């Protein structure tokens, strides 16, 4: 097994996978693709590209599927968690390896993520990073390697042994805030999070899965639920009530105006926050409990 193995979670990702997997192959990084019960040809596309494929009979969610892939990457010192709509630019894997050797205290390392419009994505704060406060969210992107309060799960290199010792991604979460939670636990374990400026990855943002009817409502449901869950987990104020108060009027107006897209967006947030407020379980919603 190689020292670095990529884990890619796919769900209706047949269109995005070829670019992702070909970039990994060019970088000499073997891939484990965990297919989350795709309804398209994702698994076949991954196998044709030479990836090892694990087929889930149902959609296990982002974090749970990644945990399966990391456990399967036996022998690797590091794993590279990569979304299907991410493509490593030439030299990115080598730059991440060099940075891991240069910064031995770092357990999480991430490349510079470039958005479709060419913008450099950098999140200047995290809900769960009180140890690096930036309450106004001032965006001052680094110009070189730098410690960070948060590294995006879109593309993230992590020490496999530490990831497993920490329990991997929190399996109570189906979608959203898994990366914030992991970053918090890594920092609490006394390890650094490092942005590696010399490694670059292109992010398609939102193109990992083919669009489906109701997907926006479902996504916003989980985003609201997961925010409430991690807030309670770390003793932060529960955002459920404010989320409902902000989004309920917008959902009602969208429904009156017959704007389906607006209703899915705001109504999904209200429903997810209401579920969290009542103590409902996100996994039960997805038939996983």
pLDDT digits (tens, 9 = 90+) for 61-70: 999 999 999 9
Question: How confident is residue 127, by pLDDT bands cut at 50, 70 and 90?
Answer: confident
Residue pair 192/88 in contact by the 8 Å Cβ criterion = no
Confidence of residue 2 (pLDDT cuts 50, 70, 90): confident
Residue 210 pLDDT greater than 80, yes or no? no
pLDDT score recorded for residue 204: 87
Residue whose token pair is 């997961």: 226
Distance of CA 20 to the CA centre of its chain: 15
φ, ψ at 75 (rounded to 5°)? 90, -15
Report pLDDT for 287. 94
Q: Are 189 and 114 in contact (CB under 8 A)?
A: no
Q: What domains, with CATH codes, occur in the chain? A: 4-203 (3.90.550.10), 215-285 (no CATH)
Contact of 244 with 277, CB cutoff 8 Å: yes
User: What pLDDT is stored for residue 130 in this prediction?
Assistant: 63
pLDDT of the residue at 248: 98
When mean pLDDT is compared across 16-20, 48-52, 63-67, 208-212, the lowest value belongs to 208-212
289 pLDDT band, cuts 50/70/90, is: confident
Q: Is residue 78 scored above 80 in pLDDT? A: yes
Is a pLDDT exceeding 70 seen at residue 56? yes
Could you tell me the pTM of the whole model? 0.93
Provide DSSP, 157-211. EEEHHHHHHTTSS-TT-SSSSHHHHHHHHHHHTT-EEEEEEEEEEEE-SS-SS--
Lowest-confidence segment of 41-55, 124-138, 146-160, 262-276 by average pLDDT: 124-138
pLDDT on residue 45: 98
Identify the pLDDT of residue 143. Answer: 85
Report DSSP state, residue 135: T
């Amino acid at each position: 097994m190689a020292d670095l193995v990529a884990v890619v979670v796919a769900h209706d990702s047949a269109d995005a996978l070829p670019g992702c997997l070909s970039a990994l192959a060019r970088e000499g990084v073997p891939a484990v693709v965990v297919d989350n019960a795709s309804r398209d040809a994702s698994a076949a596309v991954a196998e044709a590209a030479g990836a090892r494929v694990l087929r889930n009979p149902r959609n296990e969610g982002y974090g749970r599927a990644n945990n399966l892939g990391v456990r399967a990457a036996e022998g690797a010192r590091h794993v590279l968690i990569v979304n299907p709509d991410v493509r490593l630019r030439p030299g990115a894997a080598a730059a991440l390896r060099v940075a891991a050797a240069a910064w031995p205290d770092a357990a999480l390392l991430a490349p510079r993520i470039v958005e479709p419009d060419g913008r450099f994505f950098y999140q200047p704060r995290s809900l769960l990073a009180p140890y690096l406060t930036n309450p106004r969210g001032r965006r001052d992107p680094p110009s070189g390697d730098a410690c960070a309060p948060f590294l995006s799960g879109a593309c993230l290199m992590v020490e496999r042994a530490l990831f497993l010792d920490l329990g991997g991604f929190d399996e109570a979460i189906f979608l959203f805030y898994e990366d914030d939670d992991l970053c918090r636990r890594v920092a609490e374990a006394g390890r650094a999070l490092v942005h590696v400026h010399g490694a670059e990855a292109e992010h398609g943002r939102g193109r990992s899965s083919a669009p489906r009817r109701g997907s926006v409502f479902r996504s916003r449901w989980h985003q609201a639920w997961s925010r409430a869950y991690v807030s309670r987990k770390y003793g932060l104020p529960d955002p459920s009530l404010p989320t409902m108060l902000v989004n309920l009027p917008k959902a009602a107006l969208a429904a009156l105006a017959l704007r389906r897209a607006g209703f899915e967006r705001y109504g999904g947030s209200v429903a997810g926050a209401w579920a969290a407020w009542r103590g409902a379980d996100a996994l039960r919603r997805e038939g996983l409990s």
